[in-house]
Amino acid sequence: MGHDEVLSLLGSPSLKSRLHELFIAHGFRELTVQDICEHLAMSESSLRRKLKLEGSSVQEIKDQARLGLGFHLLQTTRQSIGLISDICGYQSQSRFSARFKRRFGLTPSELRYTKMAD
């Protein structure tokens, strides 16, 4: 089997996965719902309906992508938490830290500390 045939066996990725990758590829500040709809060639109502069927929303996916990137950067770089929060599209480090703690159960500083203790 060729590469295309193998990929076709996997099926198409979920809309949630496609949006997650889109946010990471294009950054978090530049994409509007209209941009997303144009990229996916669907209306806003279709986008929301399909995401609802998958149990998600544009904002939830964006938040997951942002926090996932932040988690990765905290573990793999020595960049400041303020810079990481900016890279992830947060307007303030405190907002990033609060959302990070709600999602992962520890603050960015606590995550860094546990990594250094390893």
pLDDT at position 10: 55
Digit-coded pLDDT (tens) for 93-114: 999 999 999 999 999 999 988 8
Instruction: Give the pLDDT score at 32.
Output: 86
pLDDT digits (tens, 9 = 90+) for 32-68: 899 999 999 999 999 999 999 999 999 999 999 999 9
CA distance 69 to 66: 5
Q: Which helix (H) or strand (E) holds 91?
A: none
pLDDT of residue 79: 96
What pLDDT score does 11 carry?
56
In whole angstroms, give the CA distance from residue 61 to residue 92. Answer: 20
Average pLDDT over residues 70-99: 94
pTM: 0.77
For residue 7, what pLDDT band results from cuts at 50, 70 and 90?
very low
What per-residue confidence (pLDDT) applies to 116? 56
From the CB of residue 47, how many other CB atoms can be counted at a distance below 10 Å?
A: 18
Domain 13-117 class, CATH top level = mainly alpha
Place of tokens 């950067």: 73
**Rounded to whole angstroms, how far apart are CA atoms 88 and 44?**
24
Longest dimension (CA), the chain: 51
Helix extents (H) in 1-118: 3-10, 15-26, 33-40, 44-53, 58-76, 81-87, 93-104, 108-117
Q: For position 24, what pLDDT does the model report?
A: 86
